[in-house]
Amino acid sequence: MGEKNVLIIGAAGFVGGHLIDCIQRDEPSWKITATKMPREVIEKEGITVCDLDITDPSQIDALLQEARPDYLFHLAAQSSVALSWKNPQLTIDINIKGAVNLLDSLCRAEKKPRVLLIGSGEEYGYVKTNEVPIIEDNNTRPGNIYAVTKVCQNMIGKLYAKGYGLEIMSTRSFNHTGPNQAPIGVTADFSKQVAEIEKGLREPVIHVGNLNAKRDFTDVRDVVRAYVLLMKHGEAGETYNVGSGHAVQIRSILDQILSHAKCEIEVYVDPEKLRPIDVPIIEADITKLQECTGWKPEIDLDTTIQQTLDWWRSRV
Ligand code: A2R
């Protein structure tokens, strides 16, 4: 597809780093501009890095004029569910108002890029067992503030695609995991605890939540490959589930992590980690993504788990 100017907004986070690596490997002719918050650092060669706060529309206008992107990946978010309960205003300011600021700037921009808005499997929320695997047309019944903001982003993105002819696609990305993730997802959380236990930094007891729930896990490196393919082939106004299509019990993730541990570890079910209403199974139907892009996940869960654990071992 030749040379493209690519803008990645919110590139200093977990997914951003992997997306930069993926583009540099699979699309070496694409020129990347990556944005970060002033306090953050992006240590990657061969890209342009700049500061951008999406709550300030004038900064977005200036950046779009300067970068003139063909492709725009919007990753910036307040991405913590826990923080979204503690600080709903902040979450709404960044995830909803920030997204609208971006879309308004795109309407004003001379050059209109194709846009991928990153949403979440959390948008489906209280999924009924007979709705699994979940298709994109399923009802959304968000169960937390973060999920509500992503539902809004999705709906507003669709309206701007239809109303203003912008080429906007959205994802609903299910649990993704891998090296470099903050310890909020179970894989990163469990791996960090095991790495700390191995180093003697805590008692040999791992604290866990509901082990019976089944969730759909994909390696972040496969996820970002799907994002690149959607950018190339996705249809404007459409939403695509990004997941493995197979739910795995959290207990089995724990067992795999413990099987790689270098010492005996006891398991403690921590009431603080149990959520009041945990949906028993969440699994994506990925037919739409696969038919559009031909994508399939390539990294198996055990490899992801081993590499995530090794990453934590090198960090704690
Ligand atoms: O909150 P920080 O300082 O870690 O910065 C985050 C950044 N960000 C912003 N960027 C521009 N303007 C803002 N007002 C603003 N507030 C936060 O977005 C962080 O560097 C980035 C998001 O990265 P993570 O929190 O690591 O999320 P991750 O896992 O990379 O997820 C990427 C996307 C997000 O839309 C998630 O909601 C979705 O995938 O799952």
Q: Does residue 12 have its Cβ closer than 6 Å to ligand 1?
A: yes
Distance (angstroms) between ligand 1 centre and the Cα of 203 equals 32
Q: Does residue 147 have its Cβ closer than 6 Å to ligand 1?
A: no
Report DSSP state, residue 272.
Answer: G
Which of 35, 37, 50, 177 for mutating ligand 1's site (highest number of atoms within 8 Å of CB)?
A: 37
Distance (angstroms) between ligand 1 centre and the Cα of 77 equals 4
Residue 258's pLDDT is what? 97
Q: Is the pTM of this model over 0.85?
A: yes
Residues 220-236 have pLDDT tens digits of: 999 999 999 999 999 99
Q: Whose alpha carbon is nearest atom 24 of ligand 1?
A: 13
Question: Burial code of 148-183, b = ≥16 C-beta within 10 A, e = fewer?
Answer: bbbbbbbebbbebbeeeebbbbbbbbbbbbbbbbee
Residue 1's pLDDT is what? 56
Residues of the chain with CATH 3.90.25.10: 186-213+247-282+302-315
Residues 170-221 have pLDDT tens digits of: 999 999 999 999 888 899 999 999 999 999 999 999 999 999 999 999 999 9
Classify domain 186-213+247-282+302-315 at the CATH class level: alpha beta
Distance (angstroms) between ligand 1 centre and the Cα of 300 equals 26
Residues of the chain with CATH 3.40.50.720: 4-177+217-244+283-298
Contact 243, 301 (CB under 8 A): no
Q: Does residue 173 have its Cβ closer than 6 Å to ligand 1?
A: yes
Integer-rounded Cα Rg, in Å, for the chain is: 19
Q: Does residue 11 have its Cβ closer than 6 Å to ligand 1?
A: no
Residue 220's pLDDT is what? 98
Q: Whose alpha carbon is nearest atom 29 of ligand 1?
A: 14
Residue 131's pLDDT is what? 97
Q: Locate tokens 């695609």: which residue?
A: 161
Q: Does residue 76 have its Cβ closer than 6 Å to ligand 1?
A: yes
Q: Does residue 102 have its Cβ closer than 6 Å to ligand 1?
A: no
Q: Does residue 121 have its Cβ closer than 6 Å to ligand 1?
A: no
Residue 133's pLDDT is what? 98
Q: Whose alpha carbon is nearest atom 33 of ligand 1?
A: 75
Q: Does residue 54 have its Cβ closer than 6 Å to ligand 1?
A: yes
* 120 CA closest ligand 1 atom index: 40
Q: Which residues of the chain have pLDDT under 70?
A: 1, 276-277
Residue 54's pLDDT is what? 98
For 161-228, give the secondary structure using H, E and C.
Answer: HHHHCCCEEEEEECCEECCCCCCCCHHHHHHHHHHHHHCCCCCCEEEECCCCCEEECEEHHHHHHHHH
Which of 79, 91, 120, 146 for mutating ligand 1's site (highest number of atoms within 8 Å of CB)?
A: 79
In CATH, the number for domain 4-177+217-244+283-298 is 3.40.50.720
CA–CA dist 191, 180 (Å, integer): 11
Distance (angstroms) between ligand 1 centre and the Cα of 107 equals 23
Q: From residue 125, give the alpha-carbon distance in Å to each of 23, 93, 130, 132, 287.
A: 31, 21, 14, 12, 20
* 40 CA closest ligand 1 atom index: 3
Q: Whose alpha carbon is nearest atom 1 of ligand 1?
A: 78
Residue 272's pLDDT is what? 82
Residue 273's pLDDT is what? 79
